[in-house]
Structure 1
Amino acid sequence: MTSIDIGMLGELDVRVAGAPVLIPGGKQRLLLAALALRAGRLLTTEELIDRVWDEDPPETARTTLRGYVKRLRTGFSRAGSGTAIEAVSGGYRLCVCPGDIDLERFRASRRKAAEASAPATAWRNGAGDHAARGAAAGRRGRTEELGRLQDALGQWRGRALSGLEPMPWVTSAADAAEEEYLQVCERRAELRLELGQAERAVSELRPLTSAHPHRESLWTRLLLALHHSGRTAEALLTYDEVRRMLADGLGVEPCASLRGVHERLLREDGPQRAPSVGSGRPATTPPAETPPAATPPGPNSPAAAAPAPKPPVPASAPAASPGSDHDPALTVGTAIPGGTGTSSNTDTPGGTDTDVAADAWTGSLSGAVAVADAAHPLPGRRKELAVLDGALGRGRARLVVVDGPAGVGKTALVSHWVSAAAAETSQPRFPGGVLHVDLRGFDTEPPLTTAEALTDLLVQAGCEVGELPAEPVALAALLRRVTTRNRTLVVLDNARDAEAARPLLPGGTSAAVVTSRNQLRGLVAREGAVRVSVPPLGPQDGARVLAACTGAAAGDPADVYELVDLCDGLPLALRIAAEELTHGGDSDPARLVGRLAAEATRLDQLDAGDEATSMRAVLTRAHAQLTPQQAELLHMLAAGGKLDFDVDDVAGLTGRGRNEARTLVRGLVMVNLVAQRGPDTFRLGDLNRLATVEWRPSDVR
């Protein structure tokens, strides 16, 4: 039978003989995922109906289910594998081997990893030569185990089954897979320490602790890795940050094992390997610490050398300029006093008409989370907000890069976080206020010069324009001195590249957040920035955005989800679609779906009437940064309809070797024109594809 490969560790991905098979969104993807989770085994019709519709199946569920199976079979058959789904008495079975599914390959590699170091155990209790051979065998076993774990992690493309409707069984399966993934990562960190690879462990644990800030077992291993890298002071500072985060956010102390590692580090006799992680917690909440009194600067301190500016402008959330691709209207929080945001009733206990409409969009979607979540009014951004919160903790200088594709809502994310941080009045994180400048890096207007941006920031900080030096170097030095006095947050919005942001970074313990379509990896490499990548929204969160924007009555959830898919989950596109539903003369999502389904005119439908917000213009602004070779590749991918592709596809299209092809597509990834889904696998968004087809590489100057 022709080889089938089903990817579940990330978005559902199906390939037959290496070629992608298109599985329509919604119920058919749920059906295939349910069959794949029990590959080779029978699922009864009743079980499948429960997985596809949960507790609200239609009267025609059996007939509809047969239709879905028939469509899936047709898709497999066209790809060359006609016997993938077999009808058996009482139900259906997916006829694939466990090795054809990435989740099963992940688990198989994990089992082999556990077996790899087992033979060495018999040698460990000997003496003399026997013990020496046991030590060597143990090291070989750990090295082999580490390699097997790396093989397992190589299967991982993201959260399992992402993009599917959040049925209870989908959430349960995804949570279970993520727990296995984190356990493998933790074991990998332990093996790194045992094999003397502490620095590697630090680099691998950093993004994990950012993504899972409340998983204390990860922090335990990070502290040990820092200690064994000769960075005990940094480990102690990290522990203090974690302790504050847990106290402020959850009202608890670190768990016993994390406290134990901290105590051992204070004695400078840290363990040689990660201890087992306990779960014990004290029942009491730790008392709030009293911040130390500020020490006045001496006559020779850097702060004393700066001119005395006026009191800083009140902290305010960044407001996106009309020319940016960001979406400030998605920030549904209360404005900071003196800021530019707007108040919203989503914070009131009674809710609003928007809440009711939002519920209507998703109320029938199998127990989905209510739309109007007052604690998290920015749909689908909990994880990114948590990373920002952890990275910009009190008392430490931090730099965060927030990147993502055009129209994904980077400024909305930062604006919402700044609003929440500035609302902490008892112990403000940024007593020096928030300074914000739109650098216009990807804009209809020319980018700000370094001198213009620095002048803007210094005026916001209270300096008089007439007293400012003329040279950018002197302006940058003054900004660093001014921001040394009180911890300040500098928001650098819409940066074109790392060089546009570097001169604008604050001094002392002040922090900066930079938003950009460019991944700005140079700031990560040289300045140690934490990078937060903002992805498009999934169907559920996209439906929330539509509901919040339209206040419309309920529609068919399948139509709403398809509308989100046709907008590529981009909040900017969804808001344009919402405007069409609200004021376009036809509020039926099904009819708008029909119009957007026509590829030739889809971008015309997603045009708000000006260049600043036209999806066609917004999506192609980053093209000016491409080299001619990158531009040619992007156009070839778009013209060939290549949405999901790998390095071999790029090599075939360009006639280059794999290494050169990888370097070429990497340039598209770094400006978020292409998304990286896994090792050497990529995706081009559908709207980006349509915009690129109309654009030509010769347009790049």
Structure 2
Amino acid sequence: MDRVSIGILGDLDVRVGGKQVPIPRGRLHLLLAALALRAGQFVSTEELIDHVWGEEVPPGARTTLRAYIKRLRARLREPGAGGEDGAARLIEARPGGYLLAVEEAGTDLHGFRALWARATSGEGNELAALDEALALWRGKPLAGLQPLPWVVETASGLTEEWLRAVERRADLLIERGGKAAFDAVAVELRVLLAEYPFRESLWRRHILALHLGGRSAEALLRYDEVRRLLADQLGVEPSASLRSLYHRILTAADDGGEPDIAEPGVPSPPSQPPRGRQPGETGDDGAAAPRPELVGRRRCLAALDALLDSRHRPGIIVVDGPAGVGKTALARYWAASAAGKFPGGPVRVNLRGFHSRPPLGVREALARLLQGAGVGEAELPRGLSGRSAMFTELTAARPMLVLLDNAHDAEQVRHLLPASGSLAVVTSQRQLRGLVAREGASRLTLGRLDPDEGVQLVTALGGPAVTGARRGEIEELVELCAGLPLALRIAVEQLARVPSLTPAGLAVELRDERSRLALLETGDDDSASIRGTLGRAHQLLGPGEATLLGKLAQHAEAEFGLDDAAALLAVGQGKAHTLLNGLVSLNLVEQLSLRRYRLPCLQRAVAGELLPKPRALNAVR
């Protein structure tokens, strides 16, 4: 069939053999956009239903979706579209979903990303590749689509990719030099700042271009403008790099020269590190602790290594997962090996997001990070803004690996993020979706140990207590502990402490759900209790979420569907989806697909014991 191209970097634009094919707005736009975003990849029917209808899924959605697919194929059978067989090959039906089969350059998004990769590869003409990539944009991405949450979130992420390309192009023009280039950058970015007034990276380049173009007075006025904007609207000061640029321009103006800036807006490192403790001298809440022993997480460690070594290394990595799964252990183990790639070394703070004590305040967290970076207590600024500015300046001058452990939510983390060039590794029981959507964080979700990993952990920890045990006996112990490292560690402690207790004997006791939680606690430490650790997040649930979790614990199968949850509450699927979304975001329930879920056995036991019985909560429906 004729070559098909689909444009989503602007209004939806479909062309077959160069001829535009109109697609009716509404659901068909949403369906085609969902397929085009994953061109060449399988997209499940459940995901397409979610993308086409959002939370208001009608009865018979699968049948209606098939009809929409048929209508799209009919559109692509218009003159020049390749006939019925060609259209069927373009939107292929696969078991459980569909695949949009287009050539590699069949979508403008793929073309843009390929050109961006070429531009940043260090081969060829980077500026020419960026110009070609940016020329593919015809307007706002996914323009004209119904603003469902996934559309808004995806468009925001695509816009961030576009802005990064725009900023890199501005850097290249500034590096090329010449008044014409400086003026072009200043004008182009001034237009963008009207739409993105709080993007300080645009302000930095705009102000620098003005100064280098001989308009230093105007550059200083524009700095004053952004300073007042940030103070009035957000109550914050400009970033350390923007303030550094301002002072350099002032110095250059006094000297009659240009600022000594090798890279836009990046402050020069101090000649000596700050006085006080050196990195590594603080305790648990300061620099990362010595590398501990870790068993059973080889694949997760490899995934973190791959993120660190990738060409487009993220500035933030979120490690999320249920309580007791070993997020802190994994992050600290990996940070110890990766810290050598950061001149400023590692620093760590426990944010106490899910803890018996209240979450750590931002001001105190910054103090601990600064002290971990070598700042003496007497040198700490008293105010929040001063500490934030010092932390930004330090991490800009000497990139660090910053471990923000046990975060409460995304807002707590945002105040503690280091400057560009550093890496923040954030652990949390929450999925911190906002950091992924807004700040471009990469996520690693830590799941329970599989049978092989669990056996490896029990064998490594148990020593003589598990000598002679058959593999099947240890595997059953792993299963009854839901593959949670904390539960397995508590079980191994009992095997080592209780005379004559074997893995098989402990498994017999754990099979009784009535006594399982009592067995999985040491009795003298709330942090070594499955009941206490898994139940801590329940206080964050709303009434509807608590009701649903309680009913799932009492009545649902281990694996259940969206319709099952809706039936338990006698509510619509949209409401049930919202409540399940809250439980999934706290890693209390596992999401298997768009409409299938699992309640792990230990979460079920804790919810059934700690939450009020469902019949007492009927009024919450």
Q: CA deviation at 1:387?
A: 2.4
Mapped contact 1:303–1:482 kept (Cα < 8 A): no
Q: Give the alignment of 1:239-318 within 5 angstroms.
A: 239=121, 300=248, 303=267, 309-310=274-275, 313-314=278-279
* Matched residue type, 2:330: L
SS in 2 for 1:525: helix
Q: CA deviation at 1:508?
A: 2.3
Mapped contact 1:309–1:463 kept (Cα < 8 A): yes
SS in 1 for 2:469: coil
Mapped contact 1:488–1:511 kept (Cα < 8 A): yes
Moved more, 652-661 or 382-391: 382-391
Q: CA deviation at 1:558?
A: 1.6
- Aligned: 1:133 with 2:80: yes
Mapped contact 2:307–2:314 kept (Cα < 8 A): no
Residue of structure 2 in register with 1:557 after alignment:
471
Residue of structure 2 in register with 1:180 after alignment:
none
Compared with structure 1, are the counterparts of its residues 390 and 264 closer, same or farther at alpha carbon in structure 2 (3 Å cutoff)?
farther
Distance (Å, rounded) in 2 between the aligned partners of 1:415 and 1:378: 13
1:412 corresponds, among 307, 316, 329, to: 329
SS in 2 for 1:633: helix
Mapped contact 1:319–1:341 kept (Cα < 8 A): no
* Matched residue type, 1:633: L
- Aligned: 1:694 with 2:606: no
* Matched residue type, 1:450: V
- Aligned: 1:578 with 2:527: no
* Matched residue type, 2:554: A
2:585 corresponds, among 665, 670, 675, to: 670
- Aligned: 1:226 with 2:116: no
Residue of structure 2 in register with 1:254 after alignment:
none
* Matched residue type, 1:528: G
* Matched residue type, 1:692: A
SS in 2 for 1:392: helix
Distance (Å, rounded) in 2 between the aligned partners of 1:629 and 1:192: 47
CA RMSD of aligned residues (A): 3.9
Distance (Å, rounded) in 2 between the aligned partners of 1:320 and 1:546: 29
Instruction: Work out the percentage of aligned pairs sharing the same amino acid.
Output: 37
- Aligned: 1:508 with 2:411: no
Distance (Å, rounded) in 1 between the aligned partners of 2:89 and 2:284: 52
* Matched residue type, 1:634: L
Q: CA deviation at 1:586?
A: 2.6
Residue of structure 1 in register with 2:482 after alignment:
568
Compared with structure 1, are the counterparts of its residues 442 and 594 closer, same or farther at alpha carbon in structure 2 (3 Å cutoff)?
same
Q: CA deviation at 1:490?
A: 0.6
SS in 2 for 1:191: coil
- Extract unaligned runs of 5+ from structure 2: 1-45, 47-65, 137-243, 249-264
Distance (Å, rounded) in 1 between the aligned partners of 2:283 and 2:604: 30
Residue of structure 1 in register with 2:453 after alignment:
541
- Aligned: 1:341 with 2:290: yes
Distance (Å, rounded) in 2 between the aligned partners of 1:317 and 1:575: 28
Q: CA deviation at 1:236?
A: 4.0
Distance (Å, rounded) in 1 between the aligned partners of 2:316 and 2:474: 38
Q: CA deviation at 1:469?
A: 2.4
Q: CA deviation at 1:582?
A: 1.3
Q: CA deviation at 1:643?
A: 1.6
Mapped contact 2:317–2:426 kept (Cα < 8 A): yes
Residue of structure 1 in register with 2:376 after alignment:
464
Residue of structure 1 in register with 2:437 after alignment:
525
- Aligned: 1:378 with 2:295: yes
Q: CA deviation at 1:420?
A: 2.0
Mapped contact 1:442–1:494 kept (Cα < 8 A): yes
Distance (Å, rounded) in 1 between the aligned partners of 2:381 and 2:117: 37
Q: CA deviation at 1:139?
A: 7.1
Q: CA deviation at 1:482?
A: 1.0
Residue of structure 1 in register with 2:12 after alignment:
none
TM-score of the two chains, using structure 1 as the length reference: 0.53
Deviation by residue 1:2-58 (Cα, 9 ceiling, x = unmatched)? xxxxxxxxxxxxxxxxxxxxxxxxxxxxxxxxxxxxxxxxxxxxxxxxxxxxxxxxx
Mapped contact 2:282–2:372 kept (Cα < 8 A): no
- Extract unaligned runs of 5+ from structure 1: 1-101, 103-112, 125-129, 155-183, 202-223, 241-258, 273-296, 322-337, 345-376, 423-427
Distance (Å, rounded) in 1 between the aligned partners of 2:554 and 2:395: 49
SS in 2 for 1:412: helix
2:532 corresponds, among 617, 635, 650, to: 617
* Matched residue type, 1:303: P
SS in 2 for 1:507: coil
Moved more, 551-560 or 650-659: 551-560
* Matched residue type, 2:336: S
* Matched residue type, 2:267: A
* Matched residue type, 2:337: A
Compared with structure 1, are the counterparts of its residues 225 and 599 closer, same or farther at alpha carbon in structure 2 (3 Å cutoff)?
farther
- Aligned: 1:499 with 2:421: no
* Matched residue type, 1:341: P
Deviation by residue 1:264-283 (Cα, 9 ceiling, x = unmatched)? 9699599x9xxxxxxxxxxx
Distance (Å, rounded) in 2 between the aligned partners of 1:153 and 1:319: 49
Compared with structure 1, are the counterparts of its residues 683 and 265 closer, same or farther at alpha carbon in structure 2 (3 Å cutoff)?
same
Mapped contact 1:646–1:680 kept (Cα < 8 A): yes
Residue of structure 2 in register with 1:442 after alignment:
354
Compared with structure 1, are the counterparts of its residues 676 and 630 closer, same or farther at alpha carbon in structure 2 (3 Å cutoff)?
same
Mapped contact 2:291–2:332 kept (Cα < 8 A): no
Distance (Å, rounded) in 1 between the aligned partners of 2:83 and 2:276: 65
Q: CA deviation at 1:657?
A: 0.8
Q: CA deviation at 1:435?
A: 0.9
TM-score of the two chains, using structure 2 as the length reference: 0.60
The count of aligned residue pairs is 415
